[in-house]
Amino acid sequence: MNKVTFRELLRFGFYALRYMFTGGPAYYLWLAFLVALALWGGLAYREQLTQGLVATNMRDQVSWAFYVGNFTFLVGVAAAAIILIIPAYVYDWKPIKEVAIMGEILAISALVMCMLFVLADLGQPEMVWHMIPSVGKLNFPASLLAWDVVVLNLYFLLNLVIVVYLLYCTYQQRPYNKYFVVPLILLSIPLAISIHTVTAFIYNGMAARPFWNASILAPRFLASAMCSGPAILLILFQILRHTTRFEIKDEALWKIAEIMAYAMFINLFLQGAEVFKEVYSSSEHVVHFNYLFVGLGHHRSLVPYGWGAVICSLLAFGLFIIPATRRHPVTLNLGCLLIYIGVYIEKGMGLVIPGLTPDALGEIYEYVPTMTEVRIGVACFSIGFLVYTFLTKLAVAITLGDFNRNMVAAGDRRGRPIPRPSTPD
């Protein structure tokens, strides 16, 4: 195997960056749209830095809210890359193996958004220093939050190394070293499971929060992650198929949809078991469940979210469990949209807020995110979409052979250091 030199990597990185910013009017318009949203949210983050977290609607009663809910959801999206990794590398199924790298790119983008939401939730970014060894104290392994930091960063670095190495080898037009790549890919499977398991443990380890203090929470997190992440991938794959020459077989889409159907059943079954436990036992802890699905007195702002998540998940399951509807583009995309909405609510407003309401003193504080929080959330998602756009553009071009060392060398001789973009204008 040829050795990878630092100079070659720098050269690859330089031309890759230039290629990412090359495209037609439609591509530049999309980038400008995302940058505008990021700036709009960035101005809101500046307000939050100036005023503090009082600019949000988080208070002592509800100290985790919109930011943490989005973080929890996106950890699941990142973990869902194993939906592609297992069929591709454990069972060596070619239709999915050809697109597996797109799942790893989605994981990288989702983890970037996770980190941004954590940064927003901290209030002041310099508080990150407390976790840096020799500067602060990570409090590892005693703290579950420290475990979450460790596994998320390990999973992020692992996916980054895999993606960069595979793209670099394809760019150089030489085979990758399977003895280096395959162990890393197989290692990413337990790491993907661990990132969402540890996130669930942060919730369910709190004995004072009975709505979260359930051993079934971690399996539910994993099952719902296997629904929401692939739902995003299915839509992205169809966009790629219609906007580039990147070939994605129908068999790959249908197999992912089939796996999602099984995951939806497990998620709904576990949710039903949790509902039975709460309703049948009718202990004092059922108050949190009632707040989500029935309301407490005139406090009913969360009820539409609770029922909306359940209805969306049930409708999506009905569409995906029937082979004919999960293979039809219209019903497939409708199901993806429904399951995305259902899981997003389930892990956001449907998980974080009921667990904190009523608080330990019985007070009910009805939380609604402020426009500042929404704008910051939009900025986090916009930056994540930018990361995914850049990496996917590069991956598609390298995979199709439109961007490699020979074309770059030929471009240098003609005074054009990068080839023509492979994406449409």
The ranges assigned to domains in the chain are 13-249+258-413
Helices first, then strands: H and E counts in the chain: 17, 0
- Predicted pLDDT of residue 411: 62
Q: Regarding predicted confidence, which is higher, 32 or 281? A: 32
Residue 6 has pLDDT above 90, yes or no: no
Average pLDDT, the chain: 90
- Predicted pLDDT of residue 418: 54
- Predicted pLDDT of residue 1: 47
Query: What number is the average pLDDT over the span 351-371?
Result: 92
How far apart CA 109 and CA 391 sit, in angstroms, is 9
- Which tens digits make up the pLDDT trace of 96-118? 988 899 999 999 999 999 999 99
Q: Residue 252 — pLDDT band, cuts 50, 70, 90?
A: very high
- Predicted pLDDT of residue 419: 53
Query: What number is the average pLDDT over the span 284-301?
Result: 91
Contact 275, 211 (CB under 8 A): no
Q: Residue 273 — pLDDT band, cuts 50, 70, 90?
A: very high
Q: Which residues contact 246 (CB under 8 A, 6 or more apart)?
A: 240, 396, 399, 400
Contact 225, 110 (CB under 8 A): no
Closest CA to 332 of 258, 269, 226, 246: 258
Query: What number is the average pLDDT over the span 337-349?
Result: 94
Maximum alpha-carbon separation in the chain? 77
- Identify the sign of the CA torsion 297, 53, 203, 111: positive
- Which tens digits make up the pLDDT trace of 55-88? 999 999 999 999 999 999 999 999 988 888 888 8
Let me know the angle formed at the C-alpha of 161 by 37 and 151, rounded to the nearest 5 degrees. Answer: 80
Query: What number is the average pLDDT over the span 233-244?
Result: 92
Query: What number is the average pLDDT over the span 279-291?
Result: 88
Q: Regarding predicted confidence, which is higher, 241 or 128? A: 241
Residue 35 has pLDDT above 80, yes or no: yes
- Predicted pLDDT of residue 361: 85
Residue 346 has pLDDT above 90, yes or no: yes
Residue 367 has pLDDT above 70, yes or no: yes
- Which tens digits make up the pLDDT trace of 112-151? 999 999 999 998 888 888 777 677 788 888 888 889 999 9
- Which tens digits make up the pLDDT trace of 148-187? 999 999 999 999 999 999 999 999 988 888 899 999 999 9
- Predicted pLDDT of residue 425: 45
Let me know the angle formed at the C-alpha of 419 by 169 and 411, rounded to the nearest 5 degrees. Answer: 95
- Predicted pLDDT of residue 151: 94
Query: What number is the average pLDDT over the span 5-26?
Result: 89
Contact 148, 76 (CB under 8 A): no
Residue 215 has pLDDT above 70, yes or no: yes
- Predicted pLDDT of residue 3: 64
Task: Please give the torsion angle defined by the CA atoms of residues 22, 24, 25 and 29, in that order, rounded to the nearest 10 degrees.
Answer: -50
How far apart CA 241 and CA 248 sit, in angstroms, is 6
Q: Residue 415 — pLDDT band, cuts 50, 70, 90?
A: very low
Contact 400, 245 (CB under 8 A): yes
Query: What number is the average pLDDT over the span 361-367?
Result: 91
Residue 422 has pLDDT above 70, yes or no: no
Residue 399 has pLDDT above 60, yes or no: yes
Predicted TM-score (pTM) of this structure: 0.93
3 state DSSP class of 141: coil
Residue 302 has pLDDT above 70, yes or no: yes
- Predicted pLDDT of residue 139: 81
Distances (CA, A) of 214 to 68, 147, 303, 343: 19, 20, 22, 18
Residue 207 has pLDDT above 90, yes or no: no
Rg of the chain (C-alpha set): 23
Token digits for 257? 């949809």
